[in-house]
């Protein structure tokens, strides 16, 4: 039994934070599902930019579309949906076995829409309809505008992966939007089971603060934020408000640990994975982290609801000069801007590939 299987048996879903045509065409993703307990997959503009720019495997699909003169953004979504649908089909048995709680592949709306609720809603609905698979999640950033879109998409029956959450405040806003969307469906007499995860980014906290914190506090901020967020998560979904929705047939929005690869080379590759083992959650891992944890990862105690140690850690970090609330806002803005940069690079790469194929 691998350590990943142990995590799975503890009630945590293992998702892969990567996608590429190579993973699909070589059977690697199928092997990870069969052998490493992988039951889901996430993507983002940076992942797709790396996959498409570094490979010729997309060239045939681009060639087929040359005569249509598609805008680069539309070309990207057609290519990406080919991959996402193929991954969703591989994950369909996990989706069916879990009753629609697990087995998802995620695709993100354009990151340029992070501050535009209406455009996010329209694109989210269109992507889900085009995918044509019930186990595709639409990734929406947890910005102020994104929170508005989350409620509307859930109310419309579109499964959502909320991304770019960096604090329990960010998480609570996303979870409340999910709950409001489900409540609207119940009030309208519609099926309240609309899948969702809320993705809290963890290691980026430590990457931004390790050099300014004393040795005893370095690489502890991300886990402290995660512990406090987990406490909020359990509280929301143990509430009477949620119990009423569950009785109507709703499934909980699960908390997902994102950015769980280590940024500090002195840490074990599975540092965040071991610490964040928790029933009812998802851990989406970069491929490097997945393989390293499968080989030598350790599973200890699962995460509890007591956040007193996390509170003490955060108090010490604040005393050391870190403005945690300001940093959360900065991390979200930087994450959004980073995805926009990858998006622009991706569209430029597609235009370059298309021009080269036309010339050939």
**Structure confidence by residue, pLDDT tens digits, 60-105:** 999 999 999 999 999 999 999 999 999 999 999 999 999 999 999 9
Q: Among this protein's residues, is 139 annotated catalytic?
A: yes
3-359: CATH number: 3.20.20.70
**Structure confidence by residue, pLDDT tens digits, 207-242:** 999 889 998 999 999 999 999 999 999 999 999 999
- Residue 1: what pLDDT? 61
CB 276 within 8 Å of CB 283: yes
Which residue out of 5, 125, 139, 353 is catalytically annotated? 139
Burial of 259 (0-12, 13-18, 19+ CB in 10 A): buried
Instruction: Report the predicted TM-score, pTM, of the whole model to 2 decimal places.
Output: 0.96
How far is 45 from 339, CA to CA, in rounded Å? 6
- 266 Cβ partners below 8 Å, 6+ apart? none
- Please state the domain extents for the chain: 3-359
Query: How far does the chain reach from its first CA to its final CA, in angstroms?
Result: 50
- 273 Cβ partners below 8 Å, 6+ apart? 7, 260, 283, 285, 289, 293, 297
């Amino acid at each position: 039994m691998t350590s990943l299987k142990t995590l799975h048996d503890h009630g945590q879903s293992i998702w892969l934070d990567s996608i590429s045509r190579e993973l699909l065409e070589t059977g690697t993703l199928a092997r990870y599902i069969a052998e490493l307990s992988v039951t889901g997959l996430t993507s983002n503009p940076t992942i797709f930019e790396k996959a498409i720019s570094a490979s010729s495997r997309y060239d045939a699909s681009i060639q087929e579309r040359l005569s249509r003169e598609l805008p680069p953004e539309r070309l990207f979504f057609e290519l990406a949906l080919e991959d996402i649908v193929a991954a969703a089909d591989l994950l369909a048995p996990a989706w069916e076995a879990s009753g629609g709680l697990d087995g998802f592949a995620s695709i993100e709306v354009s990151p340029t829409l992070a501050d535009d609720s209406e455009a996010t809603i329209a694109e989210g609905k269109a992507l889900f309809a085009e995918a044509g698979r019930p186990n595709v999640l639409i990734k929406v950033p947890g910005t102020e505008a994104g929170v508005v879109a989350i409620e509307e998409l859930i109310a419309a029956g579109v499964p959502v992966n909320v991304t770019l959450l960096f604090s329990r405040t960010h998480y609570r806003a996303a979870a409340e939007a999910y709950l409001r969307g489900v409540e609207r469906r119940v009030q309208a007499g519609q099926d309240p089971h609309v899948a969702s995860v809320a993705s809290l980014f963890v290691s980026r906290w430590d990457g931004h603060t390790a050099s300014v914190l004393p040795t005893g506090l370095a690489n502890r901020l991300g886990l402290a934020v995660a512990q406090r967020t987990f406490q909020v998560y359990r509280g929301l979904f143990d509430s009477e408000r949620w119990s009423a929705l569950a009785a109507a047939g709703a499934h909980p929005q699960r908390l997902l640990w994102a950015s769980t690869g280590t940024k500090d080379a002195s840490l074990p590759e599975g540092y965040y994975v071991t610490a964040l083992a928790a029933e009812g959650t998802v851990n989406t891992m970069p491929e490097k982290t997945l393989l390293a944890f499968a080989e030598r990862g350790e599973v200890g105690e699962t995460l509890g609801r007591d956040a007193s140690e996390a509170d003490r850690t955060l108090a010490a970090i604040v005393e050391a000069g870190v403005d945690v609330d300001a940093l959360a806002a900065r991390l979200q803005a930087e994450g959004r801007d980073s995805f926009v940069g990858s998006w622009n690079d991706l569209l430029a790469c597609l235009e370059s590939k298309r021009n080269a194929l036309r010339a050939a």
